[in-house]
Amino acid sequence: MLTRLEVKGFKNLLDVKIDFGPFTCIAGANGTGKSNVFDAIEFLSYLADETLAEAAQRVRGASGSPGGDPRDLFWDGYRDGEHRISLTAEMIVPAEVEDDLGVIAKATATFLRYDLVLEFKSPPTGRGVGRLGLAHEELRAVKRGDIARHMRFPHSAENFRDTVVIGQGESDVFLTTESWEDLTFIHVHGDRGSHDQPPPRIAAGKARRTVLSSVTGADSHPTIVAARREMQSWRRLALEPSALRAPDGFAAPRSLGTDGRHLAATLFRMAVETDHDVGVQDEEAVYAQVADRLSDLSGVGVESLRVEPDPAREVLTLYLQERGGLRLPARALSEGTLRFLALCVLLEDPTVTGLICMEEPENGIHPANLPAMVELVRDLSVDATERPGATNPYRQVVINTHAPGVVQLCDPDDLLLAETRPQRAPDGRVVSALSLLPYRGSWRAKQGGPTFSKADVIPYLVAPPGAQLRLSSETEG
Ligand SMILES: Nc1ncnc2c1ncn2[C@@H]1O[C@H](COP(=O)(O)OP(=O)(O)OP(=O)(O)O)[C@@H](O)[C@H]1O
Ligand SMILES: [Mg+2]
């Protein structure tokens, strides 16, 4: 769970600090930087896995090809001079981790703060494309005495916090940076009890990837591996009708892709497979729960649904029995219905945990169905008053939107208003950059910090003049 993100110098995130709870909705006009927040989260997730160059190329809007220009990611990156991106994530990581070789180990602490600074290195000849360099990297446990101050969203200490925050000491460090003359080294510390040897150190200037992404052994570094696993679980869901409609063979992966692929195979697995971690599922009950949730969408009239294997063609097909008597494969459904159905399946899948970012969930949804959609994305996130588990999957959701209807339906505590506001750049210029304002009086609001009120949201809730639909009889005469 990502509880806080601090970003400096990434795209139009000149200097932002965001507190996340189980559910967050970032609302704002076009071009304010809502998706850039998702890009920053996604960038951190890629950096936990890939080289600096590969991670940079995968970010939305970056040049997108080998040899692409990393300056796309830096605030005002094409201006001469030094450029740095600083990313900080405070996160609650899984307590038990399995590394790539199947070694299972326990993290020393689960509430961690990860700091990363990247710099742009110009090409030595002044020609060609520069590259990304590692300037600073740190991973520390949040001190036991600071937990309450850092975990600000409303939650139950007994049911929630004590289940997910485990083992905090007073001074655990896992990665630290040291500068020596003009060289920078990252030290890799073993978990508690393995301090007998000096920690290996890595020359930051030579690193092609983050040190965190290069640590793979859970036996000696379980907490670093747990942080990696957590960051790898941050995903951006972009449900695509073509992927949602793609057929699933018997051998298809049985979990939903970020574009909605493998919907039928996922639901089939949920219904028929007994997962000992999450308990025995009753096949009919699984289908009934998904069908029930789908029927919240008015205009769909679903009686029941089920996945049917076709042994001759070796395909799995999701069929819907409509109330009117029609039986149709799910691929015949409308785009909006298919997206809603995919989220209903996600909701009932206890194996889906971690952070899910979702762009504009209102897309393709009729205004009458907005309440059902907002309730569904909210319900996807963990209930922090209860213990996380099979019936309360440990999931976090961040959505963004520019729909007044969504803003109106969200709990003000869950809202952040995205605006571009004048800010002072490191070189002294006053420039326009992303600001995220919490609702006045909500847990996200800081004493004395800027907030928004109902009066500020009103312009969002009012459609611009001329945007209202008119019936032809009104426009005539
Ligand atoms: N490297 C950069 N430096 C400074 N600003 C940048 C950089 N890259 C992008 N931007 C700014 O970010 C803006 C786009 O932000 P983003 O795509 O997050 O908008 P959005 O809020 O998601 O909008 P929409 O609602 O249209 O999707 C651009 O208009 C541009 O001003
Ligand atoms: Mg966007």
What residues are in contact with ligand 1 under a 6 Å CB criterion?
A: 11-12, 28, 30-36, 72, 74-77, 402
pTM, two decimals, is: 0.93
- State which ligand 1 atom lies nearest to the alpha carbon of 39: 18
Q: What's the pLDDT at 195? A: 57
Q: What's the pLDDT at 475? A: 41
Return the structure tokens found at 328.
């149709």
pLDDT digit string (tens) for 96-150?
999 889 999 999 999 999 999 999 988 877 677 788 999 999 999 999 999 999 9
CA neighbor of 361 nearest in space, from 397, 398, 401, 333: 401
Q: What's the pLDDT at 476? A: 39
Kindly compute the dihedral angle of the four CA atoms of residues 443, 444, 446, 449, in this order, to the nearest 10 degrees: -140
**Distance from C-alpha of 226 to C-alpha of 442, rounded to nearest angstrom:** 31
Centre of ligand 1 from the C-alpha of residue 421, in Å? 13
Centre of ligand 1 from the C-alpha of residue 59, in Å? 13
**Distance from C-alpha of 74 to C-alpha of 426, rounded to nearest angstrom:** 13
Fill in the DSSP letter of residue 72: G
Centre of ligand 1 from the C-alpha of residue 36, in Å? 6
Looking at ligand 1, which residue's alpha carbon is closest to its atom 1? 11
pLDDT digit string (tens) for 25-74?
999 999 999 999 999 999 999 999 999 999 999 998 776 666 678 899 99
Q: What's the pLDDT at 446? A: 85
